Structure 1
Amino acid sequence: MTQTATTPGTQESLWSVALRSRDRRVTRQRLGVLAAVHAIPHATADDVAVAVRTDLPYITVQSVYVILADLTGIGLLRRIDTPHSPARYETRVGDNHHHAVCTGCGRIEDVDCAVGHAPCLTPDWSPGARQMTIEIAEVLYQGICDTCRTAAPSHP
């Protein structure tokens, strides 16, 4: 389910169908977490907890972590692990896109498939390696964003 422009009610209906199709009950907590991650791309669990608490003030951070793990496990969310940062989550799943991270400010941007077709990379296997069929390639680009480069003009 990739991210698309939809109205909140329509998106909630899509998530309800997706949850049911994966044998999950549709709960306010799950819908709240999905809505928060959708509204805040590349959100941390703490970001999600703060956003969900606007509608569900008594949800615990632990509950948010459990829901994030479950929704990631069933493929409704994608977990992004970047260096020097807590795990982040997004609703853009199933398209094998990549990420660029600014090493100055930590901003994360989506980068579409590097070659134009999934899984984007063909590995050059080491001698003696037990080869496998690659289904997903996770590429993490790291660099300096324009804002950070402008703020520190001495950076190469």
Structure 2
Amino acid sequence: MTSPAPLDAAERIRAAGLRVTDSRRAVIEALDARAHASAEELFAVVAQSVPSTSLQSVYNALTDFVDAGLVRRIEPAGRPGLFELRVDDNHHHLVCSVCGEVQDVDCVVGAPPCLMPGDTHGFTVQVAEVTFWGVCASCAASRS
């Protein structure tokens, strides 16, 4: 049995209940090519194919996508917010403290939310967001 073909950008946007625009389509396509991108990085890519777009338009699209569950925003400490299309699981991230590279890490142990606090203080835990900080292989090699 084969899996269905992935949805193109316009189909993804429609499936999230949003109207398709050139800017929105271009933002999804840019995220397809570069996960963990900032709004500014995405704007630089989108402006090449949709020169009439603005940074504010990219921010608006990203906000709409996050609200619709199409895109996830992560906020590594001391770094700009980053956006990714991988939203269907409770994965975590590795961040290089030298160059800022970000890599996905599947759930650490067990079923989501992966980690449980020793005391929930009455909260019902739904999601655990874990960021592992370290030095990526390229930065470690250049330090040697």
What TM-score, normalized to structure 2?
0.89
SS at 2:65's partner residue?
Answer: helix
Mapping 1:103-122, distance limit 5 Å: 103-122=97-116
- Alignment pair present for 1:35 and 2:29: yes
- Alignment pair present for 1:92 and 2:83: no
Aligned to 1:51: 45
SS at 2:7's partner residue?
Answer: helix
Aligned to 1:3: none
Select which of 123, 133, 147 maps to 2:124. 133
Gaps of at least 5 residues in structure 2 are none
**For residue 41 of structure 1, what is the amino acid of its counterpart?**
A
Gaps of at least 5 residues in structure 1 are 1-5
| Cα shift at 1:22 | 3.6
| Cα shift at 1:28 | 1.6
Mapping 1:66-85, distance limit 5 Å: 66-85=60-79
Asked whether the 8 Å contact 2:72–2:84 carries over to 1, the reply is yes
| Cα shift at 1:104 | 1.1
Q: Over residues 86-128 of structure 1, what are the superposed CA-to-partner deviations in whole Å (9 max), with x where a residue is unaligned?
A: 11100000201000001111110100001141110111116xx
Moved more, 102-111 or 24-33: 24-33
User: Percent of counterpart pairs with the same letter?
Assistant: 39
User: Which consecutive segments of 4 or more residues in structure 1 shift more than 6 A?
Assistant: none
**For residue 134 of structure 1, what is the amino acid of its counterpart?**
V
State the aligned residue count.
Answer: 141
2:85 and 2:28 map into 1 onto residues whose CA distance is 7
Aligned to 2:7: 11
